[in-house]
Amino acid sequence: MYMSSAADGFAACEITEQRRRWQSANEKRDISSVLVQFGESFLQLLEGERSMVEAVYKLIRQDRRHAPITHLSREIVRERSFDGLSLAYAGLHPADAQELLAAKSQLPHGPGTGVIDAELAKILLFGALNTRRRLRCDPAKSVQ
Residue 110's pLDDT is: 43
- Residue 85's alpha-carbon distances to 4, 26, 116, 140, 143, in angstroms, are 21, 9, 24, 29, 26
- On whether the CB atoms of residues 15 and 9 are closer than 8 A, the answer is no
Residue 75's pLDDT is: 84
Domains of the chain from N-terminus onward: 2-134 (3.30.70.100)
- On whether the CB atoms of residues 139 and 13 are closer than 8 A, the answer is yes
Residue 144's pLDDT is: 31
Residue 120's pLDDT is: 67
Question: Which distant-in-sequence residues (6+ apart) come within 8 Å of 93 by Cβ?
Answer: 38, 133, 134, 135
Residue 88's pLDDT is: 84
In this prediction, the residues of the chain whose per-residue pLDDT falls under 70 are 9-13, 100-121, 123, 126-144
Where do the DSSP E strands lie in 54-113? 66-71, 88-92
